[in-house]
């Protein structure tokens, strides 16, 4: 269309699954696969010297765990992931937080709402759709044949793609500052994409 400026990207291609691109000194961009139309999630690893901080984890699946083991051995140079920072509670971002805690003793940092939502949703496991869910589908106009089919099948549960969430975590909140990747970052909280969604703004660079 006339008058529309196409998007310009600083890198011609994103990293392949299981690989990383250094986008700034000590900051790696990683992509992990998702089983949906939006087929990837972006993850970041920041070099803390003796180990790594990662921002988000990808979904909890055998495939993603295998990719992480390859990443740690190759792209992260065998140094441990010592801290996992969660931006928000969605399963493609928190899916392996509990795995990093249980397998590698990584610290989990998150907002209170992100942790509470993720923990609550992993504990809410349903073998069949609830009556409230069926009522919602019916009122939304779902085809009766499809509704009957879904009523008899196991619904998607958050825990299907999220490793059990740890009992404890380090809370982050609006106005905090954090050091990672040799830089100081200010934490700003938003509530659009997810409640108490954490973003990180670098003081040291534009």
8, part of any domain: no
Percentage, residues of the chain above pLDDT 90: 91
6, part of any domain: no
4, part of any domain: no
Q: What is the mean pLDDT of the chain?
A: 95
pLDDT at 6: 85
134, part of any domain: yes
Question: How large is the average pLDDT for residues 162-169?
Answer: 96
Looking at the predicted structure, is the pLDDT value of residue 4 above 90? no
Percentage, residues of the chain above pLDDT 70: 99
Burial (CB count <10 Å: 0-12, 13-18, 19+), residue 85: buried
Model pTM?
A: 0.90
166, part of any domain: yes
Count other Cβ atoms within 10 Å, centred on residue 47: 19
Residue 89 pLDDT level (bands cut at 50, 70, 90): very high
Residue 204 pLDDT level (bands cut at 50, 70, 90): confident
pLDDT at 2: 65
pLDDT at 166: 95
Whole-angstrom Cα distance, residue 39 to residue 144? 30
12, part of any domain: no
CB contact at 8 A, 205 and 183: yes
170, part of any domain: yes
Q: Which domain holds residue 91?
A: 20-202
The CATH number of the domain where 188 resides is what?
3.60.15.10
pLDDT at 112: 98
pLDDT tens track for 51-86? 999 999 999 999 999 999 999 999 999 999 999 999
14, part of any domain: no
In the chain, the number of structural domains is 1
pLDDT at 1: 53
pLDDT at 8: 86
pLDDT tens track for 96-142? 999 999 999 999 999 999 999 999 999 999 999 999 999 999 999 99
pLDDT at 206: 66
pLDDT at 9: 85
């Amino acid at each position: 269309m006339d008058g529309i400026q196409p998007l310009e990207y600083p890198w011609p291609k994103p990293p392949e699954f299981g690989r990383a691109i250094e986008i700034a000194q000590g900051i790696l961009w990683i992509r992990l696969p998702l089983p949906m139309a939006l087929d990837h999630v972006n993850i970041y690893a920041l070099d803390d010297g003796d180990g790594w901080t990662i921002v988000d984890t990808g979904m909890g699946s055998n495939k993603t765990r295998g990719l992480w083991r390859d990443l740690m051995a190759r792209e992260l140079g065998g140094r441990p992931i010592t801290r996992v920072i969660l931006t928000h509670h969605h399963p493609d971002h928190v899916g392996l937080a509990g795995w990093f805690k249980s397998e590698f003793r990584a610290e989990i940092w998150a907002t209170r709402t992100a942790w509470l939502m993720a923990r609550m949703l992993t504990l809410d496991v349903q073998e069949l759709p609830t009556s409230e869910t069926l009522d919602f589908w019916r009122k939304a106009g779902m085809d009766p044949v499809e509704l009957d089919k879904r009523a008899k099948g196991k619904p998607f549960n958050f825990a299907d793609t999220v490793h059990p969430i740890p009992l404890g975590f380090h809370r982050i909140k609006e106005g905090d500052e954090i050091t990672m990747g040799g830089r100081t970052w200010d934490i700003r909280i938003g509530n659009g994409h997810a409640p108490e969604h954490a973003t990180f703004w670098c003081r040291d660079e534009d």
